[in-house]
Chain A
């Protein structure tokens, strides 16, 4: 299963666009990428998922280049409430699809 690498932490200001990049060099053909958000004392919450190119929903956009060795989560115009840990996961099939959470990226949004 592909290992993911993402920055440990990031700082931003309210109203800015935040881009968090995740590398997954060993992603396999059938693997797909999923991002979760976690607030303190809560379980992770699904944000967005994609296989290739670009996916957009009401919360975020996910950009995946053609080689799929990385992906970028884009959060438009962040607010203080977006302060959380963001996890990039590669969902792969190793005898059944599995997910492995890394340490995540701690995003701190300042006023």
Chain B
């Protein structure tokens, strides 16, 4: 079974530029998550999709971050404009069912995209 795919793996931009990350979840997984992981910290949930609808985006800085999951499969996360403090690893995860729904709610993470904002 293929895992969660993310691209690019690395990105370096200057502040105030825009950047986009792409995620392809495990086939059949209805729930998709985007996390931000700053160096030395645990991942922080930014947004959660159930199919193509947003379930939770309470920690997404909506003035500069946006995300979409068209057709309920692939997802993109965009930052516009980027700030220095956005330097982090952006992780995408997927699960067969939403958390708390039962034994198949395990999250599978992709390798992440390391963003450096100069």
Contacts and interface: CB of A to CB of B under 8 A. Distances in A.
Given A44-B43, A103-B40, A97 B98 contact: yes
A99 interface: yes
A103 B44 CA distance: 10
Contacts of A77: none
A106 B56 CA distance: 29
Interface of A: 30, 41-46, 49, 87, 91, 93, 95-104
A49 B106 contact: yes
B41 A103 contact: yes
B42 to A, nearest CB: 3
A96 B42 contact: no
A43 B110 contact: yes
Contacts of B4: 43
A104 B107 contact: no
A93 B101 CA distance: 11
Interface of B: 4, 35, 40-45, 48, 55-56, 91, 93, 98-101, 105-112, 114
Contacts of A41: 111-112, 114
A-B residue pairs, 10 tightest by C-beta: A43-B109, A97-B100, A101-B42, A97-B99, A46-B106, A101-B43, A43-B91, A44-B109, A102-B42, A91-B99
27 contacts: A41-B111, A41-B114, A42-B111, A43-B4, A43-B91, A43-B93, A43-B112, A44-B43, A45-B109, A46-B108, A49-B106, A87-B42, A91-B99, A91-B100, A93-B100, A95-B56, A96-B55, A96-B56, A96-B98, A96-B99, A97-B105, A98-B99, A99-B107, A100-B45, A103-B40, A103-B41, A103-B42
Given A43-B112, A96-B99, A97-B100, 14 more contacts: A41-B111, A42-B109, A43-B91, A43-B93, A43-B111, A46-B106, A46-B107, A91-B99, A97-B105, A98-B56, A99-B45, A99-B107, A101-B42, A103-B41
